[in-house]
């Protein structure tokens, strides 16, 4: 069953001198439980495509249907609520709130969802334990390594119970050891919890772990291959 259905998607940016077609009539289905890497050279449209799937950017034309909802037709408030309850995000720059602890960063989304305090506390502790950060639960970002901060970002993305997690170059600022730890953790979550992951990446280490590889070039899918 497809969790994401993309039909004839186009994104054109109007520059001062010339129009740039960032995404050029893309059609794509992603099934629940996939571990997919979107790859391609800089300027190929990877981040643009991810941002539109995540509802952070709107297409010029075409549709993106997530679990039966065409998000391109949602109004701003509806789209914000949909993102909050259905999509997890992991960015290369971590995007943690500096003054909040690991626990507070993780629980923030659930507070926006207005979950019960007891549920938030229990789920926060459980997820941070799962990502190997039980000892860092009260630490702020500046008291953690880059790898630990990125694991908090993954915990935060998981906390809301999303349909899928979008990870835009999640290993870009990590060394080899931390990259391996992060990828092992996400692969385990994919296999054991069935969480769908969609990566945008240049990193061969991420590509080697992906179960499906979608290659973009000049805003078009030129290859889509499933590993056996």
- In the chain, the domains with their CATH numbers are 33-60+69-226 (3.40.50.300)
The larger pLDDT score, comparing residue 91 to residue 12, is at 12
Give the pLDDT band (50/70/90) at residue 93: confident
Mean pLDDT of 94-110: 93
Give the pLDDT band (50/70/90) at residue 31: very high
Q: What is the pLDDT of residue 228?
A: 65
Mean pLDDT of 96-125: 94
Encoded tokens for 137 = 């639960």
Mean pLDDT of 168-185: 87
Closest among 68, 61, 106 to 88, alpha carbons compared? 106
For β-strands 2-14 and 61-66, DSSP reports them as: antiparallel
Mean pLDDT of 175-186: 87
Give the pLDDT band (50/70/90) at residue 191: confident
Average pLDDT in the chain? 92
Beta bridge partners of residue 14, listed in sequence order:
19
Strands of 44-104 (E only): list them: 61-66, 69-70, 87-91
Q: Is the pLDDT of residue 185 over 90?
A: no
Give the pLDDT band (50/70/90) at residue 222: very high
Q: What is the pLDDT of residue 104?
A: 96
Helix, strand, coil percent values for the chain (each to nearest 5): 40, 30, 30
Q: What is the pLDDT of residue 163?
A: 87
Q: Is the pLDDT of residue 11 over 80?
A: yes
Helix (H) or strand (E) holding 225: strand 220-226
- Give the position of tokens 């945008």: 200
Q: What is the pLDDT of residue 81?
A: 94
Q: What is the pLDDT of residue 192?
A: 83
Q: pLDDT of 196-215, one tens digit each?
A: 999 999 889 889 999 999 99
This prediction has a pTM of: 0.89
Q: Are 142 and 67 in contact (CB under 8 A)?
A: no
């Amino acid at each position: 069953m497809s969790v994401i259905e993309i039909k004839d998607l186009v994104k054109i940016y109007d520059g001062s001198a010339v129009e740039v077609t960032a995404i050029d009539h893309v059609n794509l289905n992603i099934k629940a439980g996939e571990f997919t890497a979107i790859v391609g050279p800089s300027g190929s449209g990877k981040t643009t495509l991810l941002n539109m799937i995540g509802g952070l950017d709107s297409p010029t034309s075409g549709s993106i249907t997530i679990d039966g909802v065409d998000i391109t037709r949602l109004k701003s408030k509806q789209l914000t609520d949909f993102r909050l309850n259905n999509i997890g995000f992991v960015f290369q720059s971590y995007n943690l709130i500096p003054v909040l602890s690991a626990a507070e960063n993780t629980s923030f989304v659930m507070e926006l969802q207005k979950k019960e305090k007891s549920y938030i506390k229990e789920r926060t502790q459980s997820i941070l334990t799962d990502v190997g950060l039980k000892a860092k639960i009260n630490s702020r970002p500046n008291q953690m390594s880059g790898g630990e901060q990125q694991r908090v970002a993954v915990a935060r993305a998981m906390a809301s119970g999303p349909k899928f997690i979008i990870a835009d170059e999640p290993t870009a600022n990590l060394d080899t050891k931390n990259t391996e730890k992060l990828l092992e953790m996400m692969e385990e979550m994919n296999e054991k919890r069935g969480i769908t992951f969609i990566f945008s990446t240049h990193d061969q280490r991420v590509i080697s772990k992906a179960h499906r590889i979608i290659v973009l070039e000049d805003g078009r899918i030129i290859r889509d291959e499933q590993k056996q």
